[in-house]
Amino acid sequence: MTYDFKYNSLPVLISARVRITDEQRRELKDAYYSRKNALQPAEASGTGGLVVTTSYGASNDLDKQLGFSNLVFSDIVNSRDTININIVLKLQAVLEVELISKEKLMEACGSCADYIFMKFEDA
């Protein structure tokens, strides 16, 4: 059954969080910092061996695409046990890293529903 959510509210809301592995954390950080560093200004060498490095203090395009700063990214990836599904999907889209698939999410939702109803059947 396909639900027409464009014109109707969903009858049941499910909040989802994703638990990522240490390997996925490393993959996210590698993808984020390689893209972020690619967007930074490069060193310029002048005549006589003078090297000028420009510091980039403002938000760059990657932060704008994600909707948060380097500090927030670091907090999400390094100090959270779970991450909100909307943030996970944004990270996947922008950084091109797969953390969860639709199939895995559907399986997890089914398992969650089974668990919830099992608790009340045994009561």
Tens-place pLDDT, residues 75-120: 999 999 999 999 999 999 999 999 999 999 999 999 999 998 998 8
pLDDT, tens only, 33-54: 999 888 766 556 666 677 666 6
Give the per-residue pLDDT at 57.
52
Provide the mean pLDDT of the chain.
85
Residue 83 lies in a domain: yes
Residue 24 lies in a domain: yes
pTM of the model: 0.74
CA distance 52 to 45: 6
State whether the Cα torsion 77-27-67-7 is positive or negative.
negative
Residue 10 lies in a domain: no
- Say yes or no to pLDDT of 66 above 90: yes
Q: Which domain holds residue 86?
A: 17-121
